[in-house]
Amino acid sequence: MRRDLGTRSGLTVGAAGAGCWAIGGPWEFDGRPAGWGAVDDEESIRAIRRGLDLGVTLFDTADVYGCGHSERVLGEALAGRRDEAVISTKFGLRFDEATRSGAGADASPGYVRQACEASLRRLGTDRIDVYQLHAGAEDRAAAEAVVEVLEALVAEGKIRFYGTADETLEIVEAFAAGPHCVSVQQQLNVFGGNDAAIELCEEHGLAAIARSPLAMGLLTGKYRPGGAMPAGDDVRRDTPHWDYFDDDAFPTWSARVDAIRAALTSDGRTLAQGALAWIWARSPAAIPIPGFRTVAQIEENAIACDAGPLEPGAMAAVDAALGRVAPGR
């Protein structure tokens, strides 16, 4: 199964992409752990190449992941196979490769250009397929200034297309007006997402790249009350962005997983595969980018494409179990 990377790009990609945050290894941002713990680079490279073999073609990373390390690993894995992949990376968060730490944001024209050149070097490529704003544009006017720089980079052949990973609606609207904008990255999983941003994507022909499609691993079924949890140096245990694994919130989230398990695993899917299938059924513009650290994980995600979107009955069962009305009803 494949999906258009928006209607403007002319590109199609495997319906399941691959998120490359975890393969960046340990790093810190604003004094907090920002990585997913230790990682085996050779396993990461094997996983990326196996993903290509199975039809995974969209690889989403960011310059800040591992403070450059994720981009370097991805570039090494794609050496000799670059034309088989669509690389999306991000800019806007400041970091230091030597200390593997970062803080602050910058989307000024000079910094965007500097970041682009650095990403091209680390990735070992002559062009970035989708260059995304990570942070640093505080309002619509600032976003429009970023779009102007990105259009210049398109004209220079440094990037092919661009998008925003800041799903603030005024930022999305500013980017959507850009001729070479093709995507909006946003948090989206079976527990919910930014419905207004998805609607804008559908209206403007943009891909809705779904980050955290497996709720940071919660929807893999790996974590259960009383069992092993992510390590203390894992970003999932100390972040203001999610509370899935907070001690006081985890039992509630786990109960929600149990409530939707039967619907998501219908037709023989694993829990994770069902969670991806829910996203495909949620919007024709949606392309999930589940993270991975092993060959087995990327295989499970890629194989999910074979069964396609979740059936309407299962979608309704999920909504009923979570006590909500489906979007658009």
Phi-psi region of 37 (alpha: psi -120 to 50; beta: other; left: phi over 0): left
**Is 65 an active-site residue?**
yes
115 touches 102 (CB < 8 A)? no
Phi-psi region of 213 (alpha: psi -120 to 50; beta: other; left: phi over 0): alpha
Cα–Cα distance, 130 to 33 (Å, whole number): 27
164 touches 188 (CB < 8 A)? no
Catalytic one among 65, 162, 223, 244? 65
User: Which residue numbers are catalytic?
Assistant: 65
